Amino acid sequence: MRARAVTALFAAVCAGGSASALALAVAEARATDPLVAHVVSTARSGLTTTALVQVRSTRSTPQCARVRVVARDRNGHDLGSSARTTIRLAGKAKRDVRVEFVLTRRQYDEQLTSVRADPDGCG
């Protein structure tokens, strides 16, 4: 009789653990960042690069975003970045932002491999 109770308790614990693991996996899969930004285009004039960044809110509530553009080398190290630009977005809205950064000629010629947008909330 005691063995059945232990087996039933073990089965209940396993079922509860499986259900909670599934619920956590679904919640994590559905989680999205409230702000998404990507570089649409870049244009270089001399040592100054102008980047057009599209910032999008994934939430239905208004969002505040601080966006900067970062130039990176092959190893992922920052070569330079733009100043942070603060914008306000309505729920599910998109907005284009134009930002500039300056690198040295050597960084352009030998090191620059990617230009990425780096968004974060205003706090």
Query: Residue 86's closest CA among 31, 30, 37, 20?
Result: 37
**pLDDT level of residue 32 (50, 70, 90 thresholds):** confident
Q: What percent of the chain has pLDDT over 90?
A: 54
Percent of the chain with pLDDT strictly greater than 70 = 98
Q: What are the structural domain ranges in the chain?
A: 1-31, 35-121
Confidence band, pLDDT 50/70/90 cuts, at residue 31: confident
Under the phi-then-psi rule, with left for phi > 0, alpha for psi from -120 to 50, and beta for the rest, what region is 92?
A: left
pLDDT value of residue 123: 65
Note the pLDDT tens digit of each residue in 1-12.
Answer: 688 888 989 999
Q: Write the pLDDT tens digit of every residue in 50-109.
A: 999 999 998 889 989 999 999 998 888 888 899 999 999 998 999 999 999 999 998 888
SS3 at position 13: helix
Looking at residue 122, its pLDDT comes to: 82
Predicted confidence at residue 1, as pLDDT, reads 67
β-pairing verdict for 63-72 and 114-121: antiparallel
Using the 8-state DSSP alphabet, how is residue 28 labeled?
Answer: H
Tokens representing 17 are 């653990």
- Give the model's pLDDT for residue 17: 92
| CB 87 within 8 Å of CB 103 | no
| Second CATH level (architecture) for the domain 35-121 | Sandwich (2.60)
